Amino acid sequence: MSSAPPRLILTRPDDWHLHLRDGDALAYTVGWSAAQFARAIVMPNLKPPVVDTALALAYRQRVLAARPAGSDFQPLMTLYLTDRTAPQEIARAKASGAVFGVKLYPAGATTHSDSGVTELRHVHGVLDAMQREGMPLLVHGEVTDPEVDVFDREAVFIERHLVALRRDFPALKIVLEHITTSHAVDFVLSQTARDSRGAPLLGATITPQHLLHDRNALFRGGLRPHYYCLPVLKRESHRRRVLEAACSGDPRFFLGTDSAPHARAAKEADCGCAGCFNAAHALELYAQAFEQAGCLHRLEGFASHHGADFYGLPRNRDRIELRRQQWTVPQRLDYVDDGIVPLDAGRRLDWRAVAGAAPQQPA
Ligand code: NCD
Ligand code: ZN
């Protein structure tokens, strides 16, 4: 039995890495995230990808239109960097006030990344413009070299590309997304430079799946496709290191669910899609991980403060309540096609987010 309190009241959190998809999926995905999060950085890997400001603004309107009645959920849009992105696009994106980052997918690294960057030198002009405009670069940090073992792709990306990127663009704001290894933690900790507001120049998002699971979850009693995401889960020593980073209170680490919904049949297939779906119960999953690590008192900074501070956005003023209440993650939720299997389906969790029940913060 834990001696933790029966309820937690946190500043409303934000999700700094989220896949909402498009079309009929939005009716589900936007509602799930809006129930827990005030804002979310929305990934641009649609088909076709969101490669310019006009597409991002149109996508933003579709997301806003899918909000539940009364919701003030704010989608923070991103552009998908390609070899052909024009440096002038960055000023347009910045001036729109709706684009908050540019996403680097090495070509072929993950779901819908075939339009990604083939060589970083092709985008140096764009990175220059981003550095000037203060537009963050959000990095899927995995090499795609087929010679590199899938479990090593993050560590090799850091060695081969990130070190040089940091050196060549010392004032560029960079987020290393969904970190999974001790190498990533070490790299983030080695980066101490700050921007003109005193916020870190380099930060990292961390998902619930990488806090709660090591790679054995993929093979427990058989092949478990709902634990397959990219970057793939790593060995236990890495999980511990990433959990320690999340729990450290260091402002360079913040919440990004990487909730990446795929309908059930697309996961349970001969060649199943990468992506864990966690948005419906993300905060509960993070609370579980933080409590297991004895650092629930660090959850609010990680979930609600560090990301906003990194992006130079105000912290949210409203709050969310988590009650200590056991419940079981459902086996399946309604979604397009044949529904969706949430991360940790069937698992008993100890915390439940109570929508709309928390008092406002005094002005
Ligand atoms: C993401 C998706 O499905 O869009 N999948 C994943 O495993 N995380 C893409 C990504 O962020 O890598
Ligand atoms: Zn993602």
Active-site option among 258, 318, 334, 338: 258
State CA 63 to chain mean position distance. Answer: 17
Q: Is the CB of 274 under 6 A from ligand 1?
A: yes
> What single DSSP character describes residue 145?
-
Q: Which phi and psi (to 5°) does residue 359 adopt? A: -65, 155
| Separation of CA 4 and ligand 2 centre (Å) | 32
Q: Which ligand is nearest to the CA of 210?
A: 1
Report the alpha-carbon distance of residue 171 to residue 167 in Å, rounded: 9
Q: Is the CB of 41 under 6 A from ligand 1?
A: no
Which residues in the chain come in under a pLDDT of 70?
A: 1-4, 355-363
| Separation of CA 192 and ligand 1 centre (Å) | 28
3-9 long-range CB contacts below 8 Å, 24 or more apart? 4/291, 4/296, 4/324, 5/324, 6/323, 6/324, 7/321, 7/322, 7/323, 7/324, 8/287, 8/296, 8/299, 8/321, 8/322, 8/351, 9/319, 9/320, 9/321, 9/322, 9/358, 9/359
Position 17 scores a pLDDT of: 98
The token pair that represents 118 in the structure block: 């083939």
Position 357 scores a pLDDT of: 53
Q: Is the CB of 45 under 6 A from ligand 1?
A: yes
Q: Is the CB of 239 under 6 A from ligand 1?
A: no
Q: Which ligand is nearest to the CA of 109?
A: 1
Tell me whether residue 258 is one of the annotated catalytic residues.
yes
Cis preceding linkage at 342, omega within 30: no
Report the alpha-carbon distance of residue 234 to residue 39 in Å, rounded: 29
One-character DSSP codes across 290-310: HHHTT-GGGHHIIIIIHHHHH
Handedness of CA 162, 93, 126, 78 (dihedral sign): positive
Position 1 scores a pLDDT of: 46
CATH number of 13-315: 3.20.20.140
List the chain domain ranges.
13-315
Give, in order, the Cα–Cα distances in Å from 17 to each of 76, 220, 260, 331.
10, 27, 10, 24
Ligand 1 atom, smallest distance to 275 CA: 7
Of all protein residues, whose CA lies closest to atom 11 belonging to ligand 1? 258
State CA 154 to chain mean position distance. Answer: 16
Residue with tokens 């290894």: 181
Q: Which residues pair with 283 in a beta bridge?
A: none
| Separation of CA 19 and ligand 2 centre (Å) | 6
What does the pLDDT look like over 188-235, one tens digit per residue?
A: 999 999 999 999 999 999 999 999 999 999 999 999 999 999 999 999
Ligand 1 atom, smallest distance to 19 CA: 4
Helix (H, G, I), strand (E, B) or coil at 218: helix
